[in-house]
Amino acid sequence: MRDFEGDYKRALLEEYAAYQRAGRTADANAVAQHLRQHYGHEVEPKPAPAKATAKAEAAPETTAAPPPEEDTAEPKPARGRGRPKLPRDGKGNIVRDSGKQD
């Protein structure tokens, strides 16, 4: 059987996160209050002790790739923009070659 209460709680948590991302703190606070009252769930846990956060901040990892080296070769030629223009007559109509040879 499906856990309706669990699904509802997960939906409320997602709603809370969406409100936080959107900057709608009043709506986020209302959802957080509902979660606290009906489920006993605190959406913003208490901050960790200072020692644990200090260690995490002391050794940040960088996953960014190093910047590419300067290329000293000739610059690449400019690319064309889209397909070429079709030939037109003086009135602006497209002139097509009928393919017939005399």
Cβ burial of 16 (10 Å; 0-12, 13-18, 19+) is buried
**89: amino acid identity, one letter:** D
pTM of the full structure:
0.43
User: Which pLDDT value is given to residue 63?
Assistant: 73
Domain boundaries, the chain: 4-46
Q: Cα dist. 6→9, 29, 34 in Å? A: 5, 20, 14
The mean pLDDT values, 10 residues at a time, for the chain of 102 residues are 85 92 91 88 67 57 71 72 84 80 56
Query: 65-83: per-residue pLDDT in tens?
Result: 777 677 667 777 777 777 8
User: Which pLDDT value is given to residue 14?
Assistant: 92
